[in-house]
Every structure is written in C-alpha cells, then in structure tokens.
Amino acid sequence: MPTDAILSTARQFLGVDPTVPVTLEPIRRGASGRTIVRVKSPVHEPFIGLHWTDERPDNDHFVPVALFLKKARIRVPEIIHDNSKRRVALVEDLGDVDLHSLKDRPFEERLPYYRSALEQIDKLFYARSPKELELMPPFDASLYRWEQTYFFEYLVEEFLGKDPAPLLANEAFISLSEKLGTVARHLVHRDFQSQNLLIKDGQTYLIDFQGLRRGRQEYDLASLIFDPYMNHSSEEREALLELWEDIADERPETTLFHQCAAQRLMQALGAYGKILTTRGDDWYRQHIPTAGKLLGEVTAGTDLEGPLAPILSAIT
C-alpha cells in the first residue's frame, strides 16, 4: 500500500519507535499514479510524503528534477529524504495556499504572486540542465499531435459523443502541431497553472514539475495566462503580458502565443473529458465552458475556427 510505504519511510527518517504517533493526512491532487499526504508527528514539523507508481513515466523524474531546479535557484519544495527505491520521497511542506485558492481576491492583490511565478519561468529559460539529468521527451510535432488526439478522443468523442474523425483528418490541426514542433530548445514546466503554484512567505513556488522537458516558453506562458481555472478577463491577460514584458524585456509574438494557447487549451479540455468520463470527478465540469470560450477566442479568424465551431458551441 502506498501509505504504508510512506509511513515506514517517514518513521525511518524521523528515527522514532512504534509508540510515537505519526499521522498521514491525505492531500487531494489531480495527478495520476501518485499518493500525496501530509505527515505529522510530535518530533518534527509537518512535511509531505509522496508515493508514485509507474502509471506515468514522468513520476520517476520528480526527485532528480526537484534537485536540479533547487540547484538552479528556482523556488521548488526541498527534498528532505529520498527513498526512490520504494518510490517514496519526503518533501518540504509549503502549505495549502495556491494561486487558485486566491481566485476571489482582487486581481491587483494577486499580481505580486504572478510576478513571482513568472520570474521563475524566466529563470528556467536560462537554466542549463546537466547531461546526466533525464527529462521527458521534448515537445515536438508528435507530442503536440498527441495532445490534440487526447482532446479529440476524450472531449469530443467520449464526453460529447461526437465523431472525431473529421478533426483527426483536418490539415489545420496537423499543420499547427508541425509548426509548434519545430523548436524545443528551452526548459518548460509543461503544467504551469494556478493549482501548481503554491504561495509561501509571499513568494510563489513551483510544484508538479516532473513533466519538465524542452519546448516553447510560450506554452508555459499561455498555460498561466489562459488558465481556465482562473478565467482571466482580457484586461487581466494584458496586465499579465505587461508584467512578463517587464520581467523578460519582451512579450510573445501574438500569433505564436495564441497558437500555444490553443494547443494547451485543447490538452486541458482533453484532460477534463477524461477525468469526467473515467473517474467521474464532477468538479472539472465547471471549467469546460471557460476553456471552450478561451479556445474560441485564440482561434478566432484562424483555420481552426471552422472545424472547432460545432465542438465549442456544444460546450460553451
């Protein structure tokens, strides 16, 4: 059992006998193949216990990527004990406040946390990983195409009950994947959204970074700025782009930025469809119309607008 592995590892790390109480409090997260708990005891401040399976290949990368990012001075939780042989890690507890939990606060109040998050992505842009660090395969045309197929299968076919064949055969989607897949130079988080950005002592920390790989920085920026969980207004999105320009001394080229946003939103919609149809977690249903609305905005006037129209009309 995953919790048994975490508990035994925690007891070994703490050096306590069986009479000392050690409790595990579940932490609910959407990641597949992982068990995450908060470990409490009278002899140590709380920390996070993490157990993973081989259900997803990126899970094994969590510890080495965390160590690399920490060395690169990017804000991530510290690995306090590594027991990768049992697929267990004990990790610094950053608390429960993420950017998503602050959604109802005034946007101006949240801006410093967004600045903090964007500064980390700017650092990641310049980080150089050691040759021995194994990462997930880079974003290329085949990976972008896989994300599109994920959207066609789980949102279009499984969730909506529509035939995905016309979309699969449409050259506009194939062309998009090929264009975006021509460059994969820089490190990207791959899931840079509000639930994966924790706030501690006024600073933003990255979590769920095991999918780190090379790709387009615009994909991470689009993931945050067009985050369906937050549903930023156009004015808020412009403010975030201005914030990024202040940090990086440039802003993404609009067409490319919107293409990355479209790609990311299709991936997110595919994930929502899969979770709803295979796990029945209805919390994600509320975010489908928002993601659909945003996807419609970034594809308006492009070759994707027509083929996406019947899908978006069904979910928005």
Report the domain count for the chain.
Answer: 2
260 & 165 share domain: yes
Among 92, 123, 141, give the residue marking a domain's end.
92
Tell me the backbone φ, ψ of residue 81, rounded to 5 degrees: -160, 130
State pLDDT tens for residues 127-184.
999 999 999 999 999 999 999 999 999 999 999 999 999 999 999 999 999 999 998 7
3-state secondary structure of 37: strand
Q: Measure the CA–CA gap between 65 and 71, rounded to whole angstroms.
A: 10
What pLDDT score does 29 carry?
60
Q: Are residues 123 and 41 both part of a single domain?
A: no
Find the CATH number of the domain harbouring 118: 3.90.1200.10
Confidence tier at 54 by pLDDT (50, 70, 90): confident
Claim to verify: residue 125 and residue 251 sit in the same structural domain: yes
Distance of CA 136 to the CA centre of its chain: 14
Return the H-helix or E-strand segment holding 104. none
Tell me the residue range of the domain where 212 lies.
100-315
Between CA 138 and CA 232 the distance in angstroms is 29
Task: State pLDDT tens for residues 205-263.
Answer: 999 999 999 999 999 999 999 999 999 999 999 999 999 999 999 999 999 999 999 99
User: Can you tell me whether residue 207 is helix, strand or coil?
Assistant: coil
Of 92, 111, 139, the residue that ends a domain is 92
Distance CA 275, CA 156 (A): 13
Give the total residue count for the chain. 316
**Pair (301, 172) in one structural domain:** yes
Residue 149 and residue 225 in one domain: yes
Question: What average pLDDT does the structure give for the chain?
Answer: 96
The CATH number covering residue 30 comes to 3.30.200.20
Could you count the other beta carbons within 10 Å of the beta carbon of residue 114?
23
| Residue at which a domain ends, from 76, 92, 108 | 92
Contact 139, 215 (CB under 8 A): yes
Residue 218 CB partners (closer than 8 Å, separation 6+): 252, 256, 257, 260
- Same domain for 17 and 163? no
- Do residues 69 and 207 share a domain? no
Same domain, 65 and 135: no
pTM of the full predicted structure? 0.95
Query: Does residue 134 sit in the same domain as residue 235?
Result: yes
The radius of gyration of the chain's CA atoms, rounded to the nearest angstrom, is: 20
Instruction: Say whether both 185 and 65 belong to one domain.
Output: no
Task: Evaluate if residue 33 carries a pLDDT over 90.
Answer: no
